[in-house]
Amino acid sequence: MMVTLKELTTEELLAPGHRLCGGCGASVAARMALKMTRGPTVVVQSTGCLEVATTIYPYTAWRVPYAHIAFENAAAVAGGIEAAFKALERRGAWKDHVDVIVFAGDGGTFDIGIQALSGALERRHDFVYICYDNEAYMNTGIQRSGATPYGASTTTSPAGSVIPGKAEWKKDFAGICAAHGIDHVSTASIAYWNDYMTKVRKAIEVDGPAVIHVLASCPRGWRCNTSDSIKMTRLAVQTRFFPLYEIEKGKYKLSMKVPKPLPVEELLKAQGRFSHLFKPERKGELEKIQRWTDENWNRILSLCGEKPEQPPLQPGPA
């Protein structure tokens, strides 16, 4: 059951006036998620854009209790908080259940924070982990992460005359989380607000850990117009570049069918980080990305128990 606009609270738990960039997808992801809380909630954050731009002392944009400790440990911190409230409850020093929501970027999640996250998922702490994925270390100036797509130019995977941007593919983060056997893992895009927000509420209601991987654009890093921020995260879905699905207790389910996918070029050409791929000599790279997109889509379809919608393309020149 999807949430509807009318049901949404007008209360903003992430207050306006923070210092995130115009068009920042992370703020949209956090704001939407906080509209789905069900009661007393504590937010934990890993170091990143969302943290530095919302908590510049003596100001804060957070109207919920909020803790930021470091970069790689948000899941461990959340686990400690959850454990403490339970212990306090056990000895009668605390009454209400507290929901713990983590917001962490792709750097703090895919890379430096994956150990702490894996540990916290395995221990089955009751918390929701939302990874806002803007596909690079944007806070420190657009360096590549394990979530950066193949071919994207970043400041540590620059498009050079020899190497055309990032040489590795995006990690299957949802798959890694699902392998922990937890009740809820899903992917989402801020362009599909009701799908995302419904998943947030589902994740909160899970008794145990839940993970949401939400694509959240960064116009600075993606080299696109700030006004196209939502459009970019919609294009990623419509090209099947970023499939939306959920994995409940190991069972995959497609959240959004894309019957008439746009060519992945439509997404790539809209973002400056891929512009070098449009040189004639890089044509093979575009084909490679299209092929990966098709294969990944079919992989997800088969995990969802659905038939492949098109035969994978024949391998082209590398």
Partner 1 sequence: MSRESDHNGGGDKRMKTRMGFTGDEALAYAAKQSNVDVVAAYPITPQTIMVELFSEYVANGEVHTNFVCVESEHSAMSACVGASLTGARVLTATSSQGLALMHEIMYIASGLRCPIIMGVANRALSAPINIHGDQSDMMGSRDCGWIQIYCENAQESYDWTLQSFKIAENPSVLLPVTVNLDGFILTHAMEGVEVFTDEEAKTYLPTSKVECRLDPSKPATVGALCLPDYYFEFKKQQDEAMKHVSPVLLKVTEEYGRLTGRKYGMLEEFETKNADVIIVCLGSTAGTVRSVAKELRSKGKKVGLLKLWLYRPFPSKEVAAAISEAKVVVVLDRALSPGAPYGALCQDIVSVMYESKTKPIVTDMVYGLGGRDITPPEITSIYEEALIAAKTGVVKEQVRFVGVRE
Nearer to partner 1, 69 or 176 (CB): 69
Residue from 17, 58, 259, 280 that binds partner 1 (CB under 8 A)? 58
Give the tokens for residue 6: 């009318």
Say what the alpha-carbon torsion angle 164, 20, 188, 122 is, to the nearest 10 degrees.
90
Does residue 77 interact with partner 1 by CB under 8 A? yes
Task: Give the β-pairing of 251-254 and 66-68.
Answer: unpaired
Indicate the DSSP class of residue 303.
Answer: H
Does residue 102 interact with partner 1 by CB under 8 A? no
CA end-to-end span of the chain: 44
DSSP 170-219: PP-HHHHHHTTT-SEEEEEETTSHHHHHHHHHHHHHSSS-EEEEEE---H
Does residue 90 interact with partner 1 by CB under 8 A? yes
Q: How far is the CB of 278 from partner 1 (least distance, A)?
A: 38
213 and 174 Cβ atoms separated by less than 8 Å: yes
Nearer to partner 1, 44 or 152 (CB): 44
Q: How far is the CB of 68 from partner 1 (least distance, A)?
A: 4
x/- contact string, 112-141, with partner 1 (CB under 8 A)?
Answer: ---xx-xxx-xx------------------
Residue from 3, 29, 34, 78 that binds partner 1 (CB under 8 A)? 78
Binding residues for partner 1, rule: CB under 8 A, are 39-42, 44-45, 51-52, 55-58, 60, 62-70, 72-73, 75-81, 83-88, 90-91, 93-94, 96, 98, 115-116, 118-120, 122-123
